[in-house]
Structure 1
């Protein structure tokens, strides 16, 4: 009887010790909810509009086993041809979003964009070390060859569409012309004195050659909206 009690006590001690040694790393990894496309479509900023961009995100997510979620490209469009503008921030769901390694890049839309002074000071977790492809691989940024840190967004810093007369979206992602422009962000938060992940500057043109020439490759941010 004493032997049974001793074994039970030892088992309880061992179980308690194992539980005490558990770390957050033991917890299930959050599902993939955010990535930068590992490749563009190769046609510059002509993505086939929002639907084409979304389809590209969905295809890449499906290739790594995350196709059960609904994926949206982080892109804003401008009002044109009787159609209203679309804000990138309104397309991507509510969050939280994790990268391929399970790291949370933002808890919600307000955190992602720093909607309040406090959230702006906190900052989102979108930066060079966390902005990975759907495969969990890094993108080349400033100081690497080729530099591909320009990510197409067509957005202002708060994630909304531009309302002026200038084209900030390469005709709502239907143009691959040498001229025109689309607003891009710097995923590595580096370059040209602008650290914005979603609204650093306009591209030099809409062609693949011109996107590459200004430090990009026609890559996109993709978010799971559900």
Structure 2
């Protein structure tokens, strides 16, 4: 009897360790919701802060979280230059990309099933009700800001009315110029939450950790669970 109880304890500890290690690798998620004002995210600083807030609320590793968003004009930023070097793992512990080049190639593991929220949930795609597959990026397929005329970032993520933003399809299907692209499928109808929803979105965006897991992350996860 004691031997069985000892074995059970070992298996329980092993399972807890596996979960903690899995959590310690999380470095990528899609926001579970919009902050509430459409594409007006408070600029890059506001979007980054929202990634941090969601990650903290979900008990994710204490990392530097950044929004995958580009800006244009003077001092413009490319989304690909904001997210660190990788690799990046989703909430399930699955690697979605090794590095920046892999992320922006034809080979990243980015699908509806792997692009999970900070809570580990899938997001509605085409065929679901409502469709929410349009994801704000303001970026071209190579992860860089667009040099084309016209608004592609909803006034650098400060507009909830006029303008437009480039969006990707997290489920890799749909319409637009690049329907299978996760970061540049087409432009949005407008910048309000109503307009974003009207074209198949919900004002969500991607969050990446710029720093990878450290040796102390597993212990941190145990501490958070009170183990």
Bin the TM-score by the shorter chain.
0.7 to 0.9
**Structure 2 partner of 1:149:** 133
Q: Is the 8 A contact 2:31 2:207 kept in 1?
A: yes
Show the 5 A alignment for 1:206-217. 206-217=191-202
Establish whether residue 69 from structure 1 lines up as the match of residue 63 from structure 2. Answer: yes
In 1, distance between residues paired with 2:95 and 2:61? 19
Q: Give the 3 Å change call, closer, same or farther, for CA 44–95 of structure 1 in structure 2.
A: same
Structure 2 stretches of 5 or more lacking a match?
1-17, 212-227
CA RMSD of aligned residues (A): 1.5
Following the alignment from structure 1 to structure 2, what is the Cα–Cα distance between the partners of residues 173 and 27?
A: 35
Q: CA deviation at 1:28?
A: 3.6
Structure 1 stretches (4+) deviating beyond 6 angstroms?
none
> Does the alignment pair 1:113 with 2:108?
no
Tell me how many residue pairs correspond in the alignment. 191
Distance apart, 1:163 and its partner CA: 1.4
Deviation, structure 1 residue 67: 5.0
Q: Does the Cα contact within 8 Å between 2:38 and 2:160 map onto a contact in 1?
A: yes
Q: Report Cα offsets for 1:128-180 as digits up to 9, x if no partner.
A: 11000000010000000111100000000000001122110000000011x31
Q: Can you give the 5+ residue segments of structure 1 that lack an aligned partner in the other structure?
A: 1-24, 115-119
Work out which of the two has the higher radius of gyration on C-alpha atoms and give 1 or 2. Answer: 1
CA contact 1:185–1:199 (8 Å) conserved in 2 = yes
